[in-house]
Structure 1
Amino acid sequence: MQTHLIDAFNFLESVNKTMGQWIEDAVASQNLTLMDLRILDSLAQGTALTAEQCSQNLNAISSKITQRIDKLEKSGFVQRRREKLDRRKVMLQLTDQGLEIYDLALATLLGRWQNSLSNVGADVLQITALFAGSNVAPIARLVKTLLQKNS
Structure 2
Amino acid sequence: MRDAGRASGAGHDEVDRLVAAWRRERPDLDVEPMEVLSRVSRLSRHLDLARREAFADQDLDGWEFDVLSALRRAGEPYQLSPGQLLRETLVTSGTMTNRIDRLTSRGFVERLPDPADRRGVQVRLTDEGRSVVDAALEALLSRERQLLAALGDDDAGRLSALLRGLLLPFDAPDGS
Same fold (TM over 0.5): yes
Q: Tell me whether 1:81 sits opposite 2:112 in the alignment.
A: yes
Go from structure 1 to structure 2 and tell me whether the alpha carbon gap of 1:56 and 1:106 turns closer, same or farther (over 3 Å shift).
same
Q: Which has the larger radius of gyration?
A: 2
Which structure has greater helix proportion? 1
Give the corresponding residue for 2:6.
none
TM-score (normalised: structure 1): 0.69
Letter in 1 for 2:91: A
Matches within 5 A, 1:119-138: 120-122=150-152, 124-131=155-162, 133=164
Aligned length: 132
* SS of residue in 1 equivalent to 2:112: strand
Which of 125, 130, 146 is equivalent to 1:99? 130
* SS of residue in 2 equivalent to 1:99: helix
TM-score (normalised: structure 2): 0.60
Q: CA deviation at 1:46?
A: 1.7
Q: Tell me whether 1:29 sits opposite 2:60 in the alignment.
A: no
Go from structure 1 to structure 2 and tell me whether the alpha carbon gap of 1:44 and 1:26 turns closer, same or farther (over 3 Å shift).
same
Maintained 8 Å contact 2:50/2:143: no
Maintained 8 Å contact 1:82/1:91: yes
My pick for the range that moved more, 121-130 or 50-59, is: 121-130
Q: Tell me whether 1:63 sits opposite 2:94 in the alignment.
A: yes
Matched residues in 2 for 1:42 and 1:113: separation? Answer: 19
Give the corresponding residue for 1:147.
none
- Provide, for residues 63-112 of structure 1, a one-character-per-residue CA deviation record: whole Å limited to 9, x for no partner: 22222221111111111001234221010110111111111011111111
RMSD: 3.3
* SS of residue in 1 equivalent to 2:118: coil
Q: Which runs of 5+ in 2 are unaligned?
A: 1-28, 168-176
Letter in 1 for 2:89: L
Give the corresponding residue for 1:90.
121
Which of 135, 141, 144 is equivalent to 1:113? 144
